[in-house]
Amino acid sequence: MLRYTLLILLATLVITASAVEKKGKIEVPLRFDRYYNYDDVVEALKVLHNAFPKLTTLEEIGKSEEGRGIFALTINNPETGDALSKPGVYVDGNIHGNEIQAGEVCLYYANMLLTKYGENEKITKAVDKNAHYIVPVVNVDGRYHFFADGNTPHSNRGLRVPKDDDHDGLFDEDPYDDLDGDGSICQMRIKDPNGMYKSDPEDKRIMVRVKPGEKGEYTLLGSEGIDNDGDGRMNEDGEGYLDPNRNWGYNWMPNYIQRGAGNFPLSGTGIKAVNTFLTKHPNIIIGFAFHNAGGMWLRVPSEKSIEIPSSDVAAYDIIGNNAIKITPGYVYMPSYDLYPTYGDSDSHMFFIHGAYSFVGELFMSSQETYKSGKESGKESRTERNRERLKFNDKVAQGELYKEWKPFNHPVYGEIEIGGWIKMSSRIPHTFMLPELVHRNASVVLLADEQTPDLSIEVFDVKNIGKNLSQVRVRIKNNKGISSMTAQAFKDKLYSKDALKVTGAKVIAGGKLTDFRLNKVNYKENKPEIQFFAMPGNSKVEYQFLIEGKGEVKFEYNSRKAKNVSTSVKL
């Protein structure tokens, strides 16, 4: 065991030295031919804020379980209004610790808005019109440990809440072990003539199961590790598991229904902090949560038995049906078409905070290709592995796969360690990163353009005698996203939008259903205040009978759209 202890110490020094060597000065504009570790992300946010102090606010909105700061960057032009007075666009990423490219999309989006403001007309309009709230890393402990520790491409997803996975009374005592100190948890195999695996005849790196009667060559031992707690098993009690995307409040279910749910909703320290941030910004009308892999744009509901209003689906479709054109190969669908989830962030955003919400599942491993355009057809798993290895060899210059190498295991003796490294499989190679972040940030910009854009006008005034005037007012929403989701309107989630008339006595008022025939649905009480919301790409007309003379003001107030007003002199 002394030899093993010295090996681990040496590996730690190698990893630390490597991290120091790769640490570079962060400048604006940010670079996206690399991945930023947790400290780099924080520094990048500070650099952006310092470079554009008039457009940004940087705040630590909470702490993680291990005490790391969760940061939010607000981008708003104060010359066009206070942030809370505008439609809010919320973007977060890296809610799962291993989903690091999600954080890069958020950084790219912030970098794009700030560095191109005043130069690109579309981006300038988006910054002037909306308030943008960006939380690049929700699971800050997860991102930190994904870079700092040995991991598989799939490990280190949850929050650092201790959990006794093997029910032995100990917590997180038998995680993966980076035996060879290369920063990745790869696979272990041992030569065994009675094993169930042999080398693929076309590529010796690939393990294929032997057929009945065939002689084996290897036994697969699983991921790198040792039996840390001496119970005869390896890697059975890793870092504590609470899934931060199953811990939100809406439709939360306990662990026996939804794995990783935690003991109660919002029990994750960082999840509660993000929810508090959302609550303090009630102007948020649309949100994006970026995740890891699959090439999908997912919308609510996340459970098939739940239905949402058709007008909300129509608003989603405006973004989703265009998003798949911006990101070729992606699909757009309800979350439940993938699989049902409970306590997820997008449902919480929609049903609790009244904002349209998308999940962007990013990298498609199908892009790791090495074949001509003429080659097609369904591939077997082995054929796909062969192609991915050719991609690694010929395109990624061998950087995604660790060749099998001998290692003296303290329990098994002479084994081999090799396989896909942690920065593979679910994560694009850095040469593929610039296009990924740009295309996905462009979808958010598409949503920026479709946030509610209201206008109001008095289009008809008529003196009808007895000191009364008939005044007709038209309100328009010139964009595709409603000023209030139909679900929030239905659930009475918060106060509805209001059209208020001040400056004179309103005798009657109501929605004008046919201005040619003068048909009006008059409101019985307090006609000077009309409550409703503006669907996307719509108009509505109201008629008021007003007594007296002077200037009369018409003001439309909305929580999630910029207020508009006009006046007329009677």
Of residues 255, 262, 242, the one with CA closest to residue 97? 242
* Fold held by 31-147+241-363+430-450: Aminopeptidase (3.40.630)
**pLDDT higher than threshold 50 for residue 405:** yes
Look up residue 194 and give its DSSP letter: T
The confidence score (pLDDT) of residue 174 equals 79
The confidence score (pLDDT) of residue 505 equals 96
Q: Hey, what are 68's tokens? A: 């790391």
Q: Spelled out in words, what is the top-level CATH class assigned to the domain 454-569?
A: mainly beta
Instruction: Indicate the pLDDT class of residue 24, thresholds 50, 70 and 90.
Output: low
Q: Hey, what are 61's tokens? A: 């909105």
Kindly list the strands in the beta sheet with 401-409, ordered across the sheet, starting from the edge strand earlier in the chain: 203-209, 197-200, 218-223, 187-191, 413-420, 401-409
Look up residue 211 and give its DSSP letter: P
Instruction: Indicate the pLDDT class of residue 19, thresholds 50, 70 and 90.
Output: very low
Burial (CB < 10 A; 0-12, 13-18, 19+), residue 304, is: exposed
Question: Which uninterrupted H or E stretch holds 406?
Answer: strand 401-409
**Distance between CA atoms of residues 214 and 120, nearest Å:** 65
Angle (CA) 92 98 102, round 5°: 30
Q: Hey, what are 66's tokens? A: 């291990």
Average pLDDT estimate for 76-95: 98
Listed by start position, the domains of the chain span 31-147+241-363+430-450, 162-240+367-420, 454-569
**pLDDT higher than threshold 50 for residue 7:** no
**Distance between CA atoms of residues 561 and 451, nearest Å:** 8
**pLDDT higher than threshold 60 for residue 56:** yes
Global confidence as pTM: 0.93
**pLDDT higher than threshold 50 for residue 444:** yes
Contacting residues for 567 by C-beta, under 8 A, at least 6 apart: 458, 503, 551, 552, 553, 554
**pLDDT higher than threshold 90 for residue 376:** no
Q: Hey, what are 525's tokens? A: 């009480």
Rg, Å, the chain Cα set: 28
Average pLDDT estimate for 11-40: 69
**pLDDT higher than threshold 80 for residue 496:** yes
**pLDDT higher than threshold 50 for residue 329:** yes
Lowest model confidence (mean pLDDT) among 112-126, 160-174, 331-345, 514-528: 160-174
Instruction: Indicate the pLDDT class of residue 4, thresholds 50, 70 and 90.
Output: very low
- 226-276 pLDDT, tens per residue? 999 888 888 887 888 899 999 999 999 999 999 999 999 999 999 999 999
Q: Between 171 and 426, name the one with better pLDDT.
A: 426
- 453-477 pLDDT, tens per residue? 999 999 999 999 989 999 999 999 9
- 406-419 pLDDT, tens per residue? 999 999 999 999 99
DSSP 3-state of 476: strand
Instruction: Indicate the pLDDT class of residue 374, thresholds 50, 70 and 90.
Output: low
- 176-197 pLDDT, tens per residue? 999 999 999 999 999 999 999 9
Kindly list the strands in the beta sheet with 468-477, ordered across the sheet, starting from the edge strand earlier in the chain: 454-465, 468-477, 538-547, 505-514, 519-522
Residue labelled with tokens 């100190």: 181
The confidence score (pLDDT) of residue 166 equals 79
The confidence score (pLDDT) of residue 16 equals 35
Q: Are 396 and 390 in contact (CB under 8 A)?
A: no
Whether a cis peptide bond, with omega within 30° of 0, leads into 265 is: no
The confidence score (pLDDT) of residue 167 equals 84
Q: What is the mean pLDDT of the chain?
A: 93
Instruction: Indicate the pLDDT class of residue 340, thresholds 50, 70 and 90.
Output: very high
